[in-house]
Amino acid sequence: MHVLIANLFIAGAAKAGTTALHHYLGQHPAIFMSPVKEPNYFAFPQGIPTFAGPESLGGSTFIRDRLRRETYGLSVLDRAAYERLFIQGRDRKLRGESSAAYLYFPGCAERIHEAVPDARIIAILREPVDRAFSKYRQMRRDRVEPLTSFAAAVAAEPERQRAGWAPTWLYLDRGRYHRQLQPYFARFDRRQIHVLLYDDLRADPRATLRGIFAFLGVDPDVPIDMGEAHNRSGIAETPRFGLLYDLTIRPYLMSPRLQSLMPRGLAATIRPWARRLMLRQAGTAPEALPPDLATELRAGMRDEVERLQDLIGRDLSHWLAPVPGRKEPVRVLAEAGQS
């Protein structure tokens, strides 16, 4: 395959800090990160599947775009188009992209290894129940999740999976990381895989980045601006000026080709400014995760978490601890057929 493709992959997990990590790595002078996040090139060799899912929950362009994103409609699957994403990084040691689909869909590890056998793989993992709830909050915030409680959404998950809904709505299943990571350890040398935890990135982001840079073999002391928050689940955004947004910002955001053509420095400057100008915050998601539900769901993930900690060599017992404030179990797992 052409040399101008990625040799660094952030493979997920979704809602575990991949967006922030993508932006942080892209500031390093030895690393070029794709201007398009989630190109998913290695996820769908036969084209994007036809997913079931909720019907459009409103007529706005903004909501239809969200549904399109969550069903992978913005994936970059054409070989030439994918290569164009990395043209501006031709002089960099590392050219990276971030696609959370690579952690979930079967066959991605094999296809990446076949194309780029010396690739570096980064996976950032978040406690599965917190991750699931964060994604649920985001989907409710953006009005693309029809169920009004997290417990109901979890209970509906087996039926959604049978019906062929996109993985975005399979909140707990996307947290089964052992199953998802194992193919990478089977194909790549362990020295090519760096697994970190969302907890690490939040507790000490600079030390975490130094560890990543050391893994990548680049200068670990490059200063990184971590001032901007990325992809916050509880903050809803809607266009301030619908028509102006549709005519200006939307074509750029919805076109991988336009994003790949914009100079790297200009894009980094304009994107936050345009977002602040064209989008307004529209409140926060109100629901909190009930401690009893969180504890029960964590118990249902115990076997998966224990296998994962053996695979990655890290103690994850804090992921299994009961949540303070627990009262009575709601038995969602049993209702959902996952106990």
pLDDT of residue 212: 98
Both tokens of residue 198?
């969302």
Both tokens of residue 170?
């399979």
Both tokens of residue 30?
């030895």
In terms of C-beta density within 10 A (0-12 exposed, 13-18 middle, 19 or more buried), how is residue 46 classed? exposed
pLDDT digits 0-9 by tens, 126-184: 999 999 999 999 898 888 899 999 999 999 999 999 999 999 999 999 999 999 999 99
**216: amino acid identity, one letter:** L
Nearest CA-CA partner of 21 in 85, 80, 78, 100: 100
pLDDT digits 0-9 by tens, 60-82: 777 788 888 899 999 999 999 99
How much is the average pLDDT of 112-123? 98
Alpha-carbon gap, residue 256 to 267, rounded angstroms: 13
Both tokens of residue 181?
């990571």
Residues 6+ apart with CB under 8 A from 330: 151, 290, 292, 293, 296
Domains and CATH numbers, the chain: 8-335 (3.40.50.300)
Q: What sections of 85-156 are H helices per DSSP?
A: 101-104, 108-115, 128-141, 150-155
pLDDT of residue 208: 96
Alpha-carbon gap, residue 185 to 96, rounded angstroms: 19
Q: Is the pTM of this model over 0.75?
A: yes
pLDDT of residue 328: 46
In terms of C-beta density within 10 A (0-12 exposed, 13-18 middle, 19 or more buried), how is residue 157 classed? buried
- Do 14 and 131 touch, CB atoms closer than 8 A? yes
How much is the average pLDDT of 24-28? 96
Nearest CA-CA partner of 35 in 269, 284, 248, 239: 269
Helix (H, G, I), strand (E, B) or coil at 207: helix
pLDDT of residue 259: 67
Q: Taking 80 as the threshold, does the pLDDT of residue 34 lie above it?
A: yes
pLDDT digits 0-9 by tens, 224-267: 998 765 555 445 555 555 555 555 555 556 666 666 666 666 66
User: In 274-311, which positions are buried (b, 16+ CB within 10 angstroms) versus exposed (e)?
Assistant: beeebbeeeeebeeebbebbbbbbbebbeebbebbeee
How much is the average pLDDT of 189-193? 98
